[in-house]
Amino acid sequence: MTGDRVRVGLLDDHAMVRAGLRRVLGEDAEIDVVGEAATAEEAVALARSERPDVFVVDLGLPGTNGIDATRLIGEASPKTAILVLTVQDDVAYLRRAFAAGARGYLVKDAADVDLVLAVRRVAAGKQHVDPRLGAELLSPQAARSGDLTEGELHILELIAGGHTNAEIATRLGVSVRTVETRRAELQRKLGLHTRAELVRFARQAGLSDA
């Protein structure tokens, strides 16, 4: 960020939507919209030239979709945090977005103040999930209905019980490196970035090794 100001890029294929987002964000004295894009290709070019702190990305794009755009923007400007803003209120899209590198996910009918808050949070290095999806994401049913394997769910249960990688490896009869690899894959699928976040997710989801 430049001082305390947050520099933001916008990606949406509808000019009227971009204008509305620019207006809402422009009302905050500490947020600067540094550019707009209508396609993933334009967004990547903008990310490379401006290096915004946050890129607000729509999922429903023509051509390259928003999930792939999220990944491409992250590759072009690794320090740019991606905030997905979409009509999709399905937790499956949320997981895909976070797996692609997004740090925040907000549904488009959210209030203006929620958008500003989300931008500020992801710019500060925090995750932001629309509250309506957060509860579903953290439910045991949602965790088990995703694309996790039985082995990954078992590791989640052991992590929820506070076991170390070495203890999990002993229980499963595999190497510590194998456990680390599976844990990293879990984090990728769930859109989480640290072991602490994975532990919190598992415990809030009600998982245990009982």
CATH code for the domain of 142: 1.10.10.10
Higher pLDDT among residues 142 and 108, named by residue = 108
Give yes or no for residue 141 having a pLDDT over 50. Answer: no
d(CA 179, CA 61): 37
Number of domains into which the chain is organized? 2
**Judgement on whether residues 158 and 114 belong to the same structural domain of the protein:** no
Please give the model's pTM, rounded to 2 decimal places: 0.67
In this predicted structure, the answer to whether residue 136 has a pLDDT above a threshold of 90 is: no
Give the position of tokens 């967004």: 43
Reported as a pLDDT band with limits 50, 70 and 90, residue 87 is: very high
pLDDT at 137 (0 to 100): 58
Are 114 and 16 in a shared domain? yes
Mean pLDDT for 30-51 is 97
Which amino acid, 71? R
Same domain, 121 and 30: yes
- Can you say how many angstroms the Cα of residue 67 is from the centroid of all Cα atoms in its chain? 10
Domain range for 150: 138-204
Picking from 207, 23, 135, the residue whose alpha carbon sits closest to that of residue 198 is: 207
pLDDT of residue 207: 59
Show which of 136, 164, 180 is a domain's final residue. Answer: 136
